[in-house]
Structure 1
Amino acid sequence: MLLPFGLVMLIQPQWIWAISEEWKSNDATEPFDLYLFSTRFGGAISTLVALGGIIASFFL
């Protein structure tokens, strides 16, 4: 589950914003650049952790 969510966060952070944050915004036009950066960063970390777990499961 971590790999697909990490990839979505990395590739399409707007989807995450639309699901989780859009309803909280007054104008709800688009996410801020900082939100996009932090979501992509979190997606990259999640993807790396998931890939590390997959690789580790083969060797341990």
Structure 2
Amino acid sequence: MVYIQFLIILSVGLLMTIKPDVIWTIKESWKSNDATEPSDRYILITRIGGVLLIILSLIIVIAYQFI
């Protein structure tokens, strides 16, 4: 079960880091009539969140090894 959580969190983190515009399309594009692309700030914050999720997924797997 922990490994499934690891894979889900890791894949979302990788998607957020590599392709933040896909996350924007899924989450935010419907909120605006003339939204054509995410702002630079949104891309930066999404990438930072993706890196944090990757780190969290690694912490989960490492901590599981010691339990």
- Please give the TM-score of this superposition, normalised by the length of structure 1: 0.90
Task: Specify which of 51, 56, 62 is matched with residue 44 of structure 1.
Answer: 51
What do you get for the CA RMSD once the two structures are aligned?
1.0
Which letter does structure 1 place at the counterpart of 2:55?
Answer: L
**CA–CA separation in structure 2 for the residues paired with 1:10 and 1:55:** 21
Residue 12 of structure 2 aligns to which amino acid in structure 1?
F
CA distance in 1, matches of 2:33, 2:41: 18
Q: State which of 21, 25, 35 in structure 2 corresponds to 1:18.
A: 25
What is the number of residues matched between the two proteins?
60
Residue identity (%): 48
In structure 2, what residue type is equivalent to 1:10?
Answer: T
For structure 2, the residue ranges without an aligned partner over 5 or more in a row are: 1-7
- TM-score by structure 2 length? 0.81
* Secondary structure of 2:33 counterpart: coil
Q: Provide structure 1 residue ranges, at least 5 long, that are not aligned to the other structure.
A: none
Q: Which amino acid aligns with 1:17?
A: W
